[in-house]
Amino acid sequence: MNSIDIIMIPVTDRQKAKEFYLNLGFEIIIEAQDPHGEPWIQMGLPGSNTSISLSNFHGIICETDDMEETIKEYQTKGIEVGKVDETPWGKFAWLKDLDGNSLCLRQK
């Protein structure tokens, strides 16, 4: 993993949460429907490389330059990684830590 790209924050009302974060100084990076028909609202602070996504669950999306190599490396360490999903926004593969927290690998 190279960096934390997106921190997914669970919210009950995405539009109200969006207004709250706008008032804090965040800017909208992307607002669109995701492949599952859910609204995707991604926001960030000006000049920051890490952003947040207002979602219905918690997760951390980390960038990688080589999805396959990263998965192979983790598998040799006994870390299970889910299947790779290819989307218009890149490749994604989910995994969980020992406490069930969601982490996602993303290759742009």
Output the domain CATH number for residue 98.
Answer: 3.10.180.10
pTM value surpassing 0.75: yes
pLDDT digits (tens, 9 = 90+) for 92-104: 999 999 999 999 9
pLDDT digits (tens, 9 = 90+) for 19-76: 999 999 999 999 998 877 888 999 999 999 999 999 999 999 999 999 999 999 999 9
Residue ranges with strand state E in the chain: 3-10, 27-33, 39-44, 51-55, 59-63, 85-87, 90-96, 102-107
Amino acid at 55: S
Domain that holds residue 82: 3-107
- Helix, strand, coil percentages in the chain from 3-state DSSP, rounded to 5: 20, 45, 40
Domains: count for the chain: 1
